[in-house]
Amino acid sequence: MATSNADVKGESKTSKAAASGTSASGGDDTDGKLLRRLDHAFIEVVHEPLATGRAYLGAVVSSLGAVALGAGVYALLMLEGRPLYAYAIYVIVLGVLAIGVASLLGPHGQVVHVGELGVSIVVAGRAQRTAWYEIASVSLTDGELRLATKEGPLVLSLPAHRGAAAHVAREALRRIPKRVTLSDEQVRGLGDVDTKKRIAAEPPQVTSSKCRATKKPLTIEKDVRLCARCGVAYHRASVPRRCLECDAQLKSA
Ligand SMILES: [Zn+2]
């Protein structure tokens, strides 16, 4: 638990450093103290899933399904006229069913990234990111950390993703505290946060989005400023004094 506290203290120190404009490349010295340009070096922490019995079973069933699917397709294409040909379609159906069942047993191999820009679930090598401001609520129910978003809930099951859940809960408390319903005890109960595996995050694609303040499209990357706390985007000429999503102070009074 001591490590956990140290981590939290470390993070808040980093946050204060960024807020006072002392971070190496973070602050925007013209527009405010808690703003990020898109060329900022964003960092995220990689959380590998823990192997659970259920995940192992899912991986085995998925592999068997893939083998059945391959064998069925082979029989269908190559064994026409032979006795085994008649079974090919059943083997294919069995393979598809097994892969379907395996997906229900998941998530095996699902990696979670947590960082300044939000929470990313890596599916088949592609990261699907949810920014902090896009998270409407963070709750803990039935062994799952549940993040409500407009696109549907993002669920981290504790047996497989305890480390990621602990990190998400602490970051959410720091960035969007009013949207977090966990008690301090629940957060502590999630355990320590391991932030050793850090990588550079892909910068967000914001030029297809709109300024949070004016609702006008953001078309030029160098004009975009992100709230360093919740990640919402503003046009540099329309940054409000306080962030409209997380209330962080973006400009001096
Ligand atoms: Zn904000």
- The Cα 236–Cα 245 span in angstroms is 16
List of residues 6+ apart from 66 with CB closer than 8 A: 95, 99
Q: Distance from the CA of 233 to the center of ligand 1, in angstroms?
A: 9
How far, in Å, from the CA of 156 to the mean position of ligand 1?
24
pLDDT of 13 higher than 60: no
pLDDT at residue number 138: 98
User: Domain 43-49+110-200 belongs to what topology?
Assistant: PH-domain like (2.30.29)
φ, ψ (nearest 5 deg) of residue 70: -65, -45
Output the CA 34–ligand 1 centroid distance in Å: 9
pLDDT digits (tens, 9 = 90+) for 34-93: 899 999 999 999 999 887 666 667 777 888 888 888 888 888 888 888 877 888 888 889
pLDDT in tens, 189-201: 999 999 999 999 9
Q: What is the pLDDT of residues 116-136, one digit of tens each?
A: 999 999 877 788 999 999 999
Least confident of 10-19, 67-76, 102-111: 10-19
Tell me the pLDDT of the chain averaged across its residues: 83
Burial class from Cβ neighbours inside 10 Å (0-12, 13-18, 19+) for residue 203 reads: middle
**Residue 111, pLDDT score:** 94
Q: From the CA of 132, how far away is ligand 1's center (Å)? A: 8
Tens-digit pLDDT profile for residues 213-226? 999 999 999 999 99
> How far, in Å, from the CA of 40 to the mean position of ligand 1?
16
Name residues with Cβ closer than 5 Å to ligand 1, which is an ion: 227, 229-230, 243, 245-246, 248
Domain spans, the chain: 1-40+203-253, 43-49+110-200, 53-105
Q: What is the pLDDT at residue 105?
A: 67
Specify the pLDDT at position 7: 39
Distance from the alpha carbon of residue 12 to the mean position of ligand 1, in angstroms: 16
CA of 191 to the centre of ligand 1 (A): 27
Q: What is the pLDDT of residue 8?
A: 38
**What's the average model confidence in pLDDT over 229-237?**
96
Task: Give tens-digit pLDDT for 146-175.
Answer: 999 999 999 999 998 999 999 999 999 999
Q: What is the pLDDT of residues 21-30, one digit of tens each?
A: 333 334 444 4
